[in-house]
Structure 1
Amino acid sequence: MARQIILESPILVLEHRVAVLERQVAALTEAARLLAAAVEGTPLDSPDDGEAAPAARRAHEVLLLPPLTPH
């Protein structure tokens, strides 16, 4: 039976995966925050105040940012 040589320890691999997931969750949270802030308002606000489109664009940009490299 051949043994597989692992250059990285399983703990380091898991730490990297968790760090990637944390960055993805942070990006999703920021995008949701931007969208919520854009559509949040009062009943007296006009239905089309023009803030939703730029916020949606910014949220889309946040989601398209390349992943940051771990420190």
Structure 2
Amino acid sequence: MNTTWNKTNLTLIMMDANDQKVRFSYSNIVEKPSDDQITKFAAVLEKLTNLTFLSAAIATTDNKTQVA
């Protein structure tokens, strides 16, 4: 089977001052974001939103085609 990258989604879970979780979802990001890229992006969101970063999840969608 051949695998072709289709898209990658990133979900960041943040915490507000009242200990409520806030979810940020981003679609169609780069194919394979590094841990460093995700951490730096979360740090920017922390500064912009005054929320605290808790966790991140990545979901990648690939197309699989059979080789003849």
- Per the TM superposition, whether the score is higher than 0.5 is no
Q: Which has the higher helix share?
A: 1
* Length-normalised TM-score, structure 2: 0.32
* Length-normalised TM-score, structure 1: 0.31
- Structure of greater relative contact order (alpha carbons < 8 Å, 6+ residues apart): 2
Q: Which has the higher strand share?
A: 2
